Chains A and B, each alone.
Chain A
Amino acid sequence: MKKNKTMIAVFLTPAVLMFVLVFLYPILRTILMSFFKIEGITDSMTKWQFTGFANYSKLASTSLFRISMWNLFRIWLIGGLVVMSLALLFAVILTSGIRFKSFFKAMIYLPNVVSAVALATMWLQYVYSPKFGLLKNVFSAMGLKYLSKVQWLDNDHKFMALLVAYCFGMVGYHMLIFASGIERIGEDYYEAATLDGANKVNQFRYITLPLLKGVFKTNITMWSVTSVGFFVWSQLFSTVTADTQTITPMVYMYMMIFGAGNSMTERNAGLGAAIGVLLSICVVAVFLLCNKLIKEDDLEF
């Protein structure tokens, strides 16, 4: 086929232009911003003050930022393990030919449809309430006095309370991705395995899991990206002023760019940009690690 260079250029230009404008320019600008002290996020470049790596070293020495990174890591790791395990479990059950499959699928996915604000209010003001909360009532009914008196939203329990509420909503989403991955695996493999005498557990271990490697990678990357952007739930669990148990780098970034709480605090969009750069590096690192650890090239089906 004869290549028409003009046509290639014509078709590519809009896409390239859009990419440069919408992705490349903001990225380069953000990286550049992270080396400056900038009060207002839209200040013109003439107002920027070059500070070198000062923003990065300030982040490293700020205990609140370190706390926020620690929280993010806990959300990513603990939340990730819980959500992935439950999502996989539900996906396997749902694809195993049970009755009312669509109904259960819809039920588990439902929290994704409900607004986070409504969900968080339910958890905060009802489920965890130490006065008339669901947990309090359930534990009292079971006669577990100690547990019924726990204040789920005090400093010692707030992180777990947040994590449970958040994971509750996330399972459905990852379950769907797993389920579609499992449905892609041909029935023949399972039939053959059944004939050979493999039980369900073995089928899962030797057929489903290996063939789901790619899906795992997708899920972990998606989970990492959404975790890094953890913001709304943190805000809902600590309105107005941030909380040491719920603060994440994104919340810290917001505080630095738009000011914290009701006070007029110092703003520095450069610091916010530095956080953005650090978080991006985290996501890329997780992805590269996933690529290294989970190899899917050896199987084709």
Chain B
Amino acid sequence: MKRRFMGIMLSAVMAAGLLAGCAGGASTATTAETTAGGAATDAPKETAAGGGEGLIYWSMWEATEPQGQAIQMAIDKFTADTGVKVDVQFKGRTGIREGLQPALDAGTNIDLFDEDIDRVNTTWGQYLMDLEDLVKTSGYEANANAGLIKACREVGEGTLKSIPYQPNVFAFFYNQTIFDEAGIKEVPKTWEELDAACQKIKDAGYTPITCDDAYITSMFGYHMSRLLGEQGTEAVVKEGKWDDPAVLKTAQAYEDFAQKGYFSETIASNVWPAGQNQELAMGTAAMYLNGSWLPNEVKDMAGEDFKWGCFSYPALDGGKDGTNASNYGAQVLAINKNTKNGENAFKLIEYITQGEFDKKMSEMSMGIPADSRNAEWPAQLASVKPVMESLSVRYPWAAGAEANADLTPIIKENFMKLCGGSITATGFVDALKAAGK
């Protein structure tokens, strides 16, 4: 009997542990962060002797990534110039995503942080300092990328609460050598031109298009948004309007491509990064719908002689949006509204996002510079420049296709099957209708 009692107690403790994992996860994180913050609050005292106030900066990068290294260089210079010490904590993607909000809620001393433009401005919008005055007095905007600053104001509900850096754009990236070999002179601007280009590439003996599970919903989203506009796509996935003719039309376009053999044979089973590494970078596949971070991600596999090309998702007959619409954005830096070091924090942002270190980051990470004076883009991204400059309508991630978290995996599953040729266009529509029930 005693044993059984012990057993029940043990199971209760285990269940408790599990529950604690849920709420406790946050509370332990908070405690950890508070301690980190507590330790960090000592830093300003030290630096006060140096003549300034210390800064605490939480970054989404890892210290070993090129971006993290460039930021560290900017910080070193900033500290050398101003005497203000910076305690930079490279949290990594998940670290900042999970930890920042609990830390801020717990009152942890964090002066500035960075992440994706949308997450910072929407998810963490309530913690941001309005930067309009600082930008005005420093004349920051004169050299900033006007389109991105505009995007930041848009997501910041009309006022500037974040400063963009490491701009990126989502488009078709391709292997110029394969295009040349297939005799494709101009990049496809319409679906028919893309069709023709794919045929030529296939005839030349290459796979026209490949993708991975992580990005494949974007193809669906971009096609839908070309037809309906981004709002329309979002309405379909959020409200389950799978009867919309655009859904079937999109599915038919991809069914057609699948039947013509334009997709990689393994597209239905490519788990990221198999497609981008083993097919695109290795030179067996020609195109991949991805972000401008792609050349950097595959540089070691693709080699230095890999010639990159880029074009915006093609326009469709009778569609609402043209090639001027795409997901473009940046990582952004933002300042905690409760900070006492707003001016110093902004000064550090200037160091990171403009001039010498913006250039460094662009070179080191094979990324797009944020400062308009750094007109020279990395050679691998030369073809991205005209695309970036042609964009005027901003889509969110995957052009709205992933707006409903409950459906994304189901769209992904069925779209992969559609591209792999195991289901038809009507099968795709039916599957999504069924999932909404």
A residues near B, CB below 8 A? 22-24, 26-27, 29-31, 33, 40-44, 62-65, 67, 124-125, 129-131, 151-155, 157-158, 217, 221, 225, 228-229, 237-245, 247, 253, 255-256, 258-267, 269, 272-273, 275-277, 279-281, 283-284, 287-288, 291, 296-297
| Residues 93-148 of B contacting A (Cβ, < 8 Å) | 97-98, 101-102, 105-106, 116, 118-119, 122-123
Residue B39 interfacial (CB < 8 Å): no
Known: A42-B30, A241-B412, A256-B405. 6 other contacts (CB 8 A): A23-B13, A64-B410, A242-B408, A258-B98, A262-B397, A262-B398
Instruction: Assess the A253–B22 pair: CB atoms within 8 A.
Output: yes
B residues with CB within 8 A of A: 3-4, 7-8, 10-24, 26-27, 30, 97-98, 101-102, 105-106, 116, 118-119, 122-123, 213-215, 217, 265-266, 268-272, 274, 277-278, 396-398, 402-410, 412-413, 416-417, 420, 422, 435, 437
- B20 A22 Cβ-Cβ under 8 A: yes
**Shortest distance from the beta carbon of B105 to any chain A beta carbon, whole Å:** 4
Q: For A42, give its contact among B15, B26, B217, B397 (CB under 8 Å).
A: B26
Contacting pair B102 A41 (CB below 8 A) = yes
Residues of B within 8 A of A266 (CB): 405
Cβ-defined contact, B26 with A245, below 8 A: no
Tell which of B14, B15, B268 touches A154, judged by Cβ atoms closer than 8 Å: B268
Query: Which are the 8 A-B pairs with shortest beta-carbon distances?
Result: A276-B22, A151-B269, A260-B405, A287-B11, A42-B105, A154-B269, A263-B402, A240-B214
- Tally inter-chain residue pairs, CB-CB below 8 A: 193
Distance from B88 Cβ to chain A, minimum over Cβ atoms (Å)? 23
**28 A-B contacts, Cβ less than 8 Å apart?**
A23-B13, A26-B24, A27-B16, A27-B19, A41-B26, A42-B102, A43-B105, A44-B105, A64-B406, A67-B409, A125-B274, A151-B266, A154-B416, A221-B14, A241-B408, A244-B409, A259-B123, A259-B405, A262-B397, A262-B402, A263-B402, A264-B396, A272-B22, A276-B18, A280-B15, A280-B18, A283-B14, A297-B4
Least distance between B200 CB and chain A CB atoms (Å): 24
Q: Cβ of A40: which chain B residues have Cβ within 8 Å of it? A: 101, 105
Q: Is the CB–CB distance between B271 and A153 below 8 Å? A: yes
Would you call B16 and A23 a contact (CB within 8 A)?
yes
Question: Are A242 and B409 closer than 8 Å at their CB atoms?
Answer: yes
Chain B residues with Cβ below 8 Å from A258 are 97-98
Q: Note all chain B residues with C-beta closer than 8 A to A24.
A: 16
Instruction: Report the nearest B residue to A65, measured CB to CB.
Output: B406
- Which residue on B lies nearest to A280, using beta carbons? B15
Do B271 and A245 have beta carbons less than 8 Å apart?
Answer: no
Which residues from A are CB-within-8-Å of B22? 26, 30, 253, 272-273, 275-276
Query: Given B11, B30, B106, which contacts A283 in the complex, CB threshold below 8 Å?
Result: B11
The minimal Cβ–Cβ distance linking B422 to chain A, given in whole angstroms, is 8
Query: In the bound complex, what is the Cα–Cα distance between A284 and B127 (angstroms)?
Result: 40
Q: Please tell me if the beta carbons of A260 and B408 are within 8 angstroms of each other in the complex.
A: yes
Query: Once bound together, how far apart are the Cα atoms of A194 and B189, in whole Å?
Result: 82
Output the residue of A31, A33, A153 with the most chain B CB within 10 A: A153
Which residues on B sit within 8 Å (CB–CB) of A64? Answer: 405-407, 409-410, 435
Q: Bound complex: CA of A301 vs CA of B4, how far in Å? A: 17
The distance from the CB of A70 to the nearest CB of chain B, in whole angstroms, is 13
B250 to chain A, nearest CB (A): 18
Determine the chain A residues whose CB is within 8 A of the CB of B118 once the complex forms.
264
A123 to chain B, nearest CB (A): 10
**Residue among B3, B118, B214, B437 with most chain A CB within 10 A:** B214
Closest-CB distance, B388 to chain A (whole angstroms) = 19
A255 to B407, CA, bound (A): 12
Give A44 to B21 CA distance when docked, in angstroms: 19
Chain B residues whose CB sits within 8 angstroms of the CB of A280 once the complex forms: 15-16, 18-19
What is the chain A residue whose CB lies nearest that of B22? A276
Give the residue name and chain of the A residue nearest to B97 (CB): A258
Question: How far apart are the CA atoms of A53 and B183 in the complex, in Å?
Answer: 62
Query: Which residues of A have CB within 8 Å of B403?
Result: 263, 265
Name which residue of chain B comes closest to A151, CB basis. B269
Q: How far, in angstroms, from A238 to B269 measured CA to CA in the complex?
A: 11
Q: Point out the residues of chain A lying under 8 angstroms from B214, CB to CB.
A: 239-241
Partner of B405, one of A27, A33, A263: A263
Across the interface, do A284 and B412 meet the contact criterion of CB distance under 8 Å?
A: no
Are B19 and A276 in contact (CB-based, < 8 A)? Answer: yes
**A237 lies within 8 A of B271 (CB):** yes
Given A129-B278, A131-B278, A287-B7, is A265 in contact with B18 using a C-beta cutoff of 8 Å?
no
